[in-house]
Structure 1
């Protein structure tokens, strides 16, 4: 596991690190609690925080509270507090501030490893619950709610001047596939398309046969090229059916981030472009920023 340890004493940090690293744990140590908090925010791989109550500039209780807020943001994180004075009040305050466990300082090897085994069990369960809550069960892509939450976080990091594009996709005549070949073949088609889309960027199944991919760092032209390749790859798919291979196509709508934009506006434009592709022949890529504007100008 990836573990962060915070204590004002470098000796204590060295002792605990010496107990953990031989067991294969990845350990980062801090004497500055504010620096530790910043590291936790930036490093989602951390699964356990072990912090003394006697740290500065943030107190141990404040660090516990900040870590708990991170954990509530759909992220597994187990918090263990340490104190050289095991008092009922210290224990109660630590637990009330968001700690999961309490250990005396310096900890004994057996007790520390036992508590970390408990931490691993709990964070593994939390990981699975988060996966189930955020993942579409048929495709393994993000579900609609998780997709828009993830895109919102990416857009916030991109800011006004970031580069970010969206591609919306919809399987053409999907009802016909279900009606003529059965729902098992329809499900196989959805999975095959999702496998291609999921390899491109932040991908989600928005519902039924509709998908979306957000491409951080890609311009409109690059996103159009991605959509074009996907269109051809999907045309080449052959889904096994009871009466032979089943072919399918997809329509695509593309949009890109503009200064002062929002996720809602970005995805709305991609959705409008997708609708344009569906209503003007299908098996097409339409861009919200070029094709639709040119069509209206004409």
Structure 2
């Protein structure tokens, strides 16, 4: 496991590091709790935090609270508190702050390793639960709930565009080849999108959404176009050598003050335009939906659609 240790004593750090490295764990030691917290924030591969309650930079209890808040419900992080004090109130406070377990300082070697074996089991269960709660079981991309939760994780100033796409004439594929083959097609499309976009979610059926952190509508269109071409290149010899797919895409701006739902509605209007305009294309909504008029654009073309046209 990857373990971060926060301990003001150089001697205790050395003893702990040697014990854990001998047991094939990867160890990073810090004197300053605030620096250790930054490491946890930047490196989600850390499995365990072992911290003293007497630390530099920030109090040990404050570090425990911050680490637990950082992990939230989307990250498996086991927190083990070391204390040379046997005061029951202090240990209770540490557990209430978010610690999973505690151990005396300096810890006995065999006890420490045993508690880390517990940490390994608990972390594995947490990772399984997180995967079940956030990943679409069939495709491996985010499920609908996790997709919307992920939008809250990205700072609004860092997410400027969204996109929606679906598989053209998917019902025809299901009717022709059966639902099992339809599932195979959905999986292939999801995986093709995931290669290009780190935040893609299955919204339902054959429809997917994408978040573009730091992206503009133009970059969203470029990404959608690349995925459109990747999907068009997919082949399914195990189903039918002649079977090929196309997808239609709608991209839109995510404006300040908007909810994700509002931004996705704009992208959905563009997707509708892509479908009604012939499918197998990318359309970007460049205007607001009002007065029954929407102005959209596609690579190399301009399309204006008005209500009733």
Contact 1:200 1:213 in 2 (8 A): no
Which of residues 193, 197, 200 in structure 1 aligns to 2:193? 197
Say yes or no: does 1:254 pair with 2:251: yes
Match of 2:290 in 1: none
Which of residues 179, 182, 189 in structure 2 aligns to 1:186? 182
The TM-score with structure 1 as length reference comes to: 0.87
State the alpha-carbon separation in 2 of the partners of residues 83 and 229 from structure 1: 55
State the alpha-carbon separation in 2 of the partners of residues 101 and 286 from structure 1: 53
Match of 1:112 in 2: 112
Structure with a larger share of its residues in helix: 1
Which of residues 203, 206, 221 in structure 1 aligns to 2:203? 206
State the alpha-carbon separation in 2 of the partners of residues 101 and 226 from structure 1: 45
Contact 2:8 2:55 in 1 (8 A): yes
Which of residues 165, 169, 176 in structure 2 aligns to 1:173? 169
Match of 2:270 in 1: 273
State the alpha-carbon separation in 1 of the partners of residues 96 and 7 from structure 2: 20
Report the Cα offset of residue 276 of structure 1: 1.2
- 1:87 to 1:211, Cα distance in 2 relative to 1, 3 A: same
State the alpha-carbon separation in 1 of the partners of residues 155 and 70 from structure 2: 19
> Structure 1: any 5+ residue segments left out of the alignment?
none
Say yes or no: does 1:52 pair with 2:55: no
- 1:241 to 1:50, Cα distance in 2 relative to 1, 3 A: closer
Match of 1:130 in 2: 130
Match of 2:281 in 1: 284
Summarize deviations over 1:106-154 as a string: whole Å, max 9, x none: 1122211111111111111101110111011110010011112223322
User: What is the RMSD computed on CA atoms of the aligned residues?
Assistant: 2.5
Matched residue pairs, number?
A: 294
Task: Kindly report which structure 2 residues correspond to 1:210-225, keeping only aligned pairs within 5 A, or say none.
Answer: 210-225=207-222
State the alpha-carbon separation in 2 of the partners of residues 297 and 176 from structure 1: 27
Report the Cα offset of residue 257 of structure 1: 4.6
State the alpha-carbon separation in 2 of the partners of residues 92 and 260 from structure 1: 41
Deviates more, 1:36-45 or 1:47-56: 36-45
Say yes or no: does 1:239 pair with 2:236: yes
The TM-score with structure 2 as length reference comes to: 0.85
Contact 1:181 1:241 in 2 (8 A): no
State the alpha-carbon separation in 1 of the partners of residues 12 and 172 from structure 2: 67
Contact 2:196 2:227 in 1 (8 A): no
Summarize deviations over 1:21-80 as a string: whole Å, max 9, x none: 333323222222233333323332221111112234533233222222233332111111
> Structure 2: any 5+ residue segments left out of the alignment?
288-294
- 1:236 to 1:297, Cα distance in 2 relative to 1, 3 A: closer
SS state at 2:162 partner: strand
Contact 1:155 1:263 in 2 (8 A): no
Report the Cα offset of residue 244 of structure 1: 5.9
Contact 1:185 1:239 in 2 (8 A): no
Task: Kindly report which structure 2 residues correspond to 1:25-104, keeping only aligned pairs within 5 A, or say none.
Answer: 25-104=25-104
Summarize deviations over 1:254-274 as a string: whole Å, max 9, x none: 224556665344333222211
Match of 1:18 in 2: 18
Contact 2:73 2:130 in 1 (8 A): no
